[in-house]
């Protein structure tokens, strides 16, 4: 190796190190060389699908997805003693979603670029071509079908005729490496890489929070995927903590007015911490059980365990305290005998009150108050048509909002109203509007 070649090699490696990020380019510790990972810039809404001729990859055959990023093309190179004065770099080109034939075409073009620049350093022209011209050079457009034959020596992205045209096509280049195990493995790799790159891009961008009106990096923000709204973590944490402490676990949605996008459990946990998330998870389960028609709660105040109704629909047996009770009147199960009327219960309560000890008296008073509360609720409220929760109307118009299931409904006819335009019902129904 001449001194000039040695200096040129070192200067080229130093230049590449200063231009590109560490996750794009790295030098090798042994002989002079390195590895470059090129993530191509895809057009927006780039649709890919996977087709396989292997019977074991039937699930991957149905894969269709829009992606923003695909796994990189990897250029591994090593400088020979005569580079750049007389000898080109030795290299391999590998990729998970390009076929060996497509990679062969790229290898041949890198050889052509060396011939055009013989005697000069060539890595930068190689990298620029691979990053900026690969899609056009291989005529890759959306929608793009990746074909994965069971025979790895054949094209698994496009047929040779589509790649090179009719007639003969070149043999595969040994420097072109197909880096994929199976169609299902390729699907996992594409989805994981696309998600990781999207997060990386999001974390590095600034966003304006519409709560505090401060601009913060995406790494300090939360992104609602359904609606694409972004808010800073500090504001969302405060908002979610208040909602959870108030028991409004179904209201952990995007703060944007009229937006119905819901925060995922993982987002909630990251924002509010383990302890408050446990409360959120418990309340969410309880509210879900409340909406299930075949689930009731043990009537014992010291228990309150969720209980599945028996097949006859009249009896519940608590799995915690083993109390068998009537699901209609919450008293001890009485078989085919009818439930006692409130008047009968009042008489029994009065008789028991006369002889009961003070502790028993308090228990009976609580039960009596509970019964009176049920009667008051029955007379002064209406059941929500969505979840059957009692709703009281204290004023305002006839458009009601259930605090439990969040549905809108008409107080007059109990019809469930549209989220987008709940007042359309009152414009169409004069009876409900005038009541």
| Coil/strand/helix, residue 120 | coil
For the chain, how are helix, strand and coil distributed in percent, rounded to 5?
A: 40, 20, 40
Q: Could you give the 3-state DSSP secondary structure of residue 141? A: coil
Residue 216 pairs in a beta bridge with 207
CA dihedral 241, 245, 248, 253 (to 10 degrees): 0
In angstroms, what is the C-alpha Rg of the chain?
A: 35
Active site residue 397: yes
* Gap between the Cα atoms of 261 and 255, Å rounded: 9
In angstroms, rounded to a whole number, what is the distance separating the alpha carbons of residues 330 and 339?
A: 9
> d(Cα 36, Cα 231) in Å, to the nearest integer?
35
Backbone phi, psi, residue 230, to 5° = -130, 130
Helices within 120-253 (DSSP H only): 123-137, 160-164, 183-204, 233-245
Cβ neighbours of residue 43 closer than 8 Å, sequence gap 6 or more: 141, 142
> Using CA of residue 418, residue 423, residue 424, residue 425, what is the dihedral sign?
positive
Say how far apart CA 267 and CA 188 lie, in whole Å.
23
Single out the catalytic residue among 212, 259, 321, 397. 397
C-alpha–C-alpha distance, residues 410 and 412, integer Å: 5
DSSP E strands, 233-388? 295-297, 306-308, 315-317, 324-326, 382-383
Three-point CA angle 414, 419, 425, nearest 5°: 50
| Cβ-Cβ contacts under 8 Å for 408 (sequence gap 6 or more) | 399, 400, 401, 402, 416, 417, 418, 419, 422
**Alpha-carbon distance values, 169 to 98, 99, 159, 213 (Å):** 17, 14, 11, 59
Q: Tell me the catalytic residues.
A: 397
């Amino acid at each position: 190796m001449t001194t000039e070649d040695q200096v040129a090699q070192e200067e080229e490696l130093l230049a590449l190190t200063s231009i590109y990020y560490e996750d794009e380019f790295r030098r090798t510790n042994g002989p002079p060389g390195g590895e470059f990972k090129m993530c191509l810039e895809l057009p927006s809404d780039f649709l890919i699908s996977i087709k396989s001729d292997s019977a074991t990859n039937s699930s991957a055959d149905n894969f269709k997805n829009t992606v923003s990023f695909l796994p990189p093309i990897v250029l591994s190179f090593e400088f020979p003693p005569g580079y750049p004065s007389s000898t080109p770099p030795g290299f391999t080109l590998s990729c998970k979603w390009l076929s060996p034939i497509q990679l062969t075409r790229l290898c041949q073009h890198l050889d052509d670029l060396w011939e055009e620049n013989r005697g000069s350093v060539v890595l930068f022209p190689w990298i620029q071509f691979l990053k900026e011209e690969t899609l056009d050079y291989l005529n890759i457009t959306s929608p793009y079908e990746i074909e994965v034959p069971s025979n790895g020596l054949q094209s698994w992205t496009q047929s040779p005729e589509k790649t090179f045209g009719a007639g003969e096509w070149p043999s595969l280049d040994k420097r072109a490496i197909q880096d994929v195990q199976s169609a299902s493995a390729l699907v996992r790799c594409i989805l994981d890489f696309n998600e990781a790159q999207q997060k990386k891009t999001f974390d590095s961008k600034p966003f304006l929070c519409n709560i505090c009106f401060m601009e913060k990096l995406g790494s300090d923000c939360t992104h609602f995927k359904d609606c694409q709204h972004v808010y800073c973590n500090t504001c969302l944490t405060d908002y979610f903590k208040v909602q959870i402490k108030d028991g409004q676990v179904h209201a952990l949605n995007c703060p944007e007015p009229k937006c119905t996008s819901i925060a995922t459990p993982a987002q909630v946990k990251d924002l509010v911490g383990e302890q408050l998330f446990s409360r959120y998870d418990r309340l969410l389960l309880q509210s879900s059980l409340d909406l299930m028609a075949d689930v009731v709660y043990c009537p014992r105040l010291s228990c309150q365990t969720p209980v599945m109704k028996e097949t006859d629909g009249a009896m519940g047996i608590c799995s915690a305290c083993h109390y068998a009770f009537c699901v209609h009147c919450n008293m001890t199960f009485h078989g085919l005998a009818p439930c006692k009327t409130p008047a009968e219960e009042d008489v029994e309560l009065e008789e028991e009150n006369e002889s009961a000890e003070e502790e028993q008296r308090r228990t009976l008073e609580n039960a009596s108050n509970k019964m009176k509360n049920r009667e008051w609720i029955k007379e002064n409220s209406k059941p929500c048509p969505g979840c059957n929760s009692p709703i009281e109307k204290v004023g305002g118009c006839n458009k009601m909002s259930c605090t439990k299931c969040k549905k809108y409904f008409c107080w007059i006819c109990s019809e469930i109203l549209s989220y987008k335009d709940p007042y359309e019902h009152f414009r169409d129904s004069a009876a409900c509007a005038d009541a």
